[in-house]
Amino acid sequence: MSRTKVAVIGSGNIGTDLMIKVLRTSEHLEMAAMVGIDPESDGLARARRLGVPSTHEGVDGLIALPGFAEIGIVFDATSAKAHRHNAARLGPFGKVLVDLTPAAIGPYVVPAVNLDRHLDNDNLNMVTCGGQATIPIVAAIGGVAPVAYAEIVASIASKSAGPGTRANIDEFTETTSAAIVEVGGARRGKAIIILNPAEPPLIMRDTVFALVHAPEPDAPDRIRDAVAAMAESVAEYVPGYRLKQEVQVTAVPGDQPLDTLVEAGEPRPTHQVSVFLEVEGAAHYLPAYAGNLDIMTSAALRVGERVALRRDDRRDDPRDDPRDDRRGPARQPQEATP
């Protein structure tokens, strides 16, 4: 089976780590181009040393590369604003875009939850690092009991937050909150990110807090089992992903005020669920404490490989008409909060 050629736009930490993952671990993808705007960036320097075609002229340089027509998938690891521009420039060329920014032009994709539903889209959004870590857990809880409210807190090492991450803080909270509802299935969602300046840097930690309506006596045990199973599913493509301690499911006290968290008219939640996670990076390019970057590149790699397999299946199946457009409408880009 031939490999699908891919390009990575963004020669910073995330893009470079993704390039290394494709080169070292992918069975279905082939690095065809590394794209940046800083000719002195380490990502472009590494690409040149590794024999990967590269350009420092951004998306226009990518389009001008001799092998551009053979590229099937483009990973964008720039910023939300840059991705909107890149998507517009690449639109006429029929590439599949895997968006590692919070731009949210295409549908939110979390591999362990909803990847199969979006394999035919031409723009797939990877939400955020916090979203990739926590939305699977919200979805697992929701598979057992309705989630009235879900709140996630992502704590990452300050050293692992580069200029792109810091520029996207507003989009992080907006995009993650929206995806907690749209993908995780919660009625309401909230996201918080903390840049922890501790030295030595701490591994990424994530907390999921959920309010659920689960009056059945066996519901707490089923929630714990569902969360554990989901954690194993995510760990299949993010080996450093793990539960930090046992899932806590406790009854909501009758006098605990919930009116600011639960929508009016909704049944009062019976239990609160607390899940504590840790994400250690694979250290392909970045330190192990940068689990926030590793989970994004690992999830994006999983998406790219599945998209490549889907493209092969469609080429091999004569009944699959390539003119059949099942992509659906794209989400309108989100703007950053002032």
Look up residue 50 and give its two tokens.
């590794």
8 Å CB contact between 180 and 131:
yes
Give the integer Cα–Cα distance in Å for 162 and 151: 25
Angle at 263 between CA 259 and CA 267, to 5 degrees: 85
Judge whether 129 counts as a catalytic residue.
Answer: yes
Give the integer Cα–Cα distance in Å for 336 and 63: 28
Q: Cβ of 64: how many Cβ atoms within 10 Å?
A: 10
Give the integer Cα–Cα distance in Å for 135 and 112: 9
Q: Which of 71, 129, 140, 183 is catalytic?
A: 129
3-state secondary structure 114-136: HHHHHCCCCEEECCCHHHHHHHH
8 Å CB contact between 294 and 234:
no
Q: Where are the beta strands (DSSP E) in 126-218?
A: 147-157, 189-196, 204-212
The residues that are catalytic are 129
